[in-house]
Structure 1
Amino acid sequence: MFKRFWAVFIARNLEFFRDRSSLGWNLAFPLLLVIGFAFIFSGDGRAAYKVGVMEPGTDNAFFQMLHVEYVTYQDIELAKAKLQRHQLDILVEPASQTYWVNPSSPQGYFVEKLLLGQLPNYQQQLLEGREIRYLDWVLPGILGMNMMFSCLFGVGYVIVRYRKSSVLKRLQATPLQAVEFISAQILSRLFIVVAITSGVFIACNLMFDFYMLGSYWNLLLVTVLGAASMIAMGLLMASRSQSEELTGGLLNMISWPMMMLSGVWFSLEGAPQMVQDIALLLPLTHLLQAARAIMNDGAGLADIQSHLWAMTGMTAVFMALGSALFRWQGEGR
């Protein structure tokens, strides 16, 4: 059994790496996207200052200025964390007449001068931290989107092409079982996707020095689980069809909602609850939320265990369904 599995695994890897155009695109596409975003969003881009307030409703003129966004927080530790990452320019607590400012924030310097002009009795507290750029936030989305297309289309079209060209028909005549074939396809694509994504991440990190608070090993685990779940989904979509057009339609029907609802380009925090609930049914959502929690918040495995279990469960369900529905020669054969 292992020899049959290993033979299919090696053959699939060689087939991919010998296709230089496909390999080049998988390497170049995410790299070009990251470089493009680095130049497009190299400036701050905000039209106003952002002030965190620990209690609403104060009548002082400082809290009623134009062109300033005021955000009320109940959790002071959460607000301080945002200030450290330059997501707030200053944090004010009127009850204790205290304010916190990040000395490395240019915006915070000017807001502090405005505050002391209106509230000279407030006491200063310093919080140091590094800025999270939009590029740091969007990086998991870019890499995750590239992984999604590679996992879904790189597996789905391959299976349909094998079936259409009678490759699967020949394999059916061998002792190879469906679960062995599917397992080999999953691990082959998993190896390819993780290797390419890791290489692109390392190259981009050397150029742009991404914000990273958590463990790289935890990030690798999330990458593996996320890729496995999307590969298994792609195999499920191609388990019976012999039509490339139908398979392409099914894969597009899955990939575009994931790209729009999983938080690739923007956060879903302000979206309706129903939209957020639907997004949690998609493996890419769990991949991106877990990756951003590790990179931007320093989360450990215990903090993201719900995402890990979700991706593991999706992988198991998709693989089980794909094995049960798999047909060597397609529908009607």
Structure 2
Amino acid sequence: MIGFSARRLWAVVTKELRQLKRDRLTYAMIVGIPIMQLLLFGYAINMDVRHLPAAVVDQAHTSRSRQVIDELHQSRVFDFLYAPATSAGAQTLLRDGDIKVIVVVPADFEHRLTTDQPPLQLIVDGSDQVVQQAARQLSQFPVRAYLEGRSLSPPASPVAVAAYYNPEREAPLNTVPGLIGVILTMTMVMFTAIALVREREHGNQEFLITTPLSSAELTLGKVLPFIGIGLIQTGLVLLLGHLIFQVPVRGPLLDLYLAALVFIVASLALGILISTVVRSQFQAMQAAIFTFLPQILLSGFMFPFEGMPRPAQWFAEVLPLTHFVRLSRGIMLRGADLASLWPELLSLAVFSAVALGVAILRVDKRLD
């Protein structure tokens, strides 16, 4: 029986530390993951919603209506980007995802100030529950008390709130569309990266190197089957979401599948890129998780996008899941189509092209 030796133990510890030092990806994640989580949770994740894109329909055109609109703007909750002449025009902007809130000042605004009728109306995008919550907090804005210069503490003359697309505030209607993207992100990126690295680890790539395949043909040929898998997963989530949670698809179903197809390609491109950087399946899994965390936290799926600081929003615009969450919620809940959501589709296409291009350049058909 071999006795315990502190020297032998220290030799093993030293060996593992040296191995860890040579494994740059694992070493980077040991330092990077805590830093990233601290920044994401402590700085970027902010439940206090600000700067919601909004439109104002001022049908009264009086000095007091402009005064109230200015006060709402000064609250920094709304950014009034549009001032359409009619509510119908504003509702088109809401359906297309250009705005989150419509503030309507009715033509009889002055008369309503002397009655019990709500003097203002907020029409909100109910496909995002965080927006609904922020709007309902502002529904207690004391319009009469503010205009008369009295104390603003009593909730006099509350504002009427109408939530479009999810008036019952059912959580699955908000969750399931984004969950499609979350599931595809987790499976497509990880499966692709691990599968390609496994080929290299098992030596199967040596056989393929002897074939007259280009780097593009070799890379794309390995990935195309995953596109079918991703579309099957999309259909499965849609079917279960409809049967179990009664989640509708109000827009064109074909448009939703086309959006999912482009997002799947973007996720696969990210997985391919990861496979060209890492050396083992374990590293591939680590890297996939490393890219998955900021996507789920910054995409608007879990936390309000408008509550994040501008630098965090700029970074989130690079992530594929951010754009697919907007696409899926827009098509499924608001009844929008790809023609009105083309900027999100274009962003996914650009990401796919760049990631695939870089990955193909990194694929080397040599044994060394």
Range class of TM-score, shorter chain:
0.5 to 0.7
Output the TM-score relative to the length of structure 2. Answer: 0.58
Residues 195-214 of structure 1: pairs in structure 2 closer than 5 A: 195-214=232-251
Distance 1:269-1:157 versus aligned 2 partners, 3 A rule: same
Contact 2:165 2:333 in 1 (8 A): no
Distance 1:170-1:134 versus aligned 2 partners, 3 A rule: same
Contact 1:240 1:326 in 2 (8 A): no
Shift of 1:130: 5.5
Shift of 1:79: 7.9
Contact 1:172 1:328 in 2 (8 A): yes
Hey, what does 1:175 align to over in structure 2?
212
2:267 maps to 1:246:
no
Letter in 1 for 2:227: L
Hey, what does 1:232 align to over in structure 2?
269
Residues 39-58 of structure 1: pairs in structure 2 closer than 5 A: none
2:337 maps to 1:300:
yes
Shift of 1:92: 6.8
Shift of 1:317: 1.5
Q: 2-side partners of 1:101 and 1:173: how far apart? A: 66
Spell out, residue by residue over 1:232-276, the C-alpha distance to the aligned partner (whole angstroms, 9 max, x if none): 111011025432233333222211111111122232022212111
Q: Which ranges of structure 1 fall in alignment gaps of 5 or more residues?
A: 1-51, 59-70, 103-107
2:346 maps to 1:309:
yes
Shift of 1:164: 0.4
Shift of 1:311: 0.9
- Superposition misfits of 4+ residues, deviation over 3 angstroms: 52-58, 71-82, 90-96, 98-102, 126-130
2:186 maps to 1:136:
no
**Percent of residue pairs bearing the same amino acid type:** 21
Distance 1:79-1:319 versus aligned 2 partners, 3 A rule: closer
* 168-177 vs 246-255, greater mean Cα deviation: 246-255
Distance 1:175-1:213 versus aligned 2 partners, 3 A rule: same
Hey, what does 1:218 align to over in structure 2?
255
Q: 2-side partners of 1:214 and 1:230: how far apart? A: 23
2:304 maps to which of 239, 258, 267:
267
Output the TM-score relative to the length of structure 1. Answer: 0.64
Contact 1:53 1:73 in 2 (8 A): no
Letter in 1 for 2:258: L
Q: 1-side partners of 2:325 and 2:285: how far apart? A: 24
What secondary structure sits across from 1:300 in the alignment? coil
Q: 2-side partners of 1:263 and 1:297: how far apart? A: 16
2:315 maps to which of 248, 272, 278:
278
Q: 2-side partners of 1:244 and 1:157: how far apart? A: 5
Q: 1-side partners of 2:290 and 2:197: how far apart? A: 17
Distance 1:182-1:57 versus aligned 2 partners, 3 A rule: same
Hey, what does 2:190 align to over in structure 1?
153
Shift of 1:220: 0.9
Letter in 1 for 2:357: A
2:343 maps to 1:323:
no
Contact 2:177 2:332 in 1 (8 A): no
Contact 1:239 1:327 in 2 (8 A): no
Distance 1:302-1:181 versus aligned 2 partners, 3 A rule: same
What secondary structure sits across from 2:336 in the alignment? coil
What secondary structure sits across from 2:307 in the alignment? coil
2:292 maps to 1:255:
yes
Q: 2-side partners of 1:269 and 1:127: how far apart? A: 18
Spell out, residue by residue over 1:132-178, the C-alpha distance to the aligned partner (whole angstroms, 9 max, x if none): 52221121222211100111110000111110000111111222332
Letter in 2 for 1:246: Q
Hey, what does 2:231 align to over in structure 1?
194
| Aligned residue pair count | 257
Hey, what does 2:149 align to over in structure 1?
none
Spell out, residue by residue over 1:194-236, the C-alpha distance to the aligned partner (whole angstroms, 9 max, x if none): 1122122112212221143321111111101011011011101
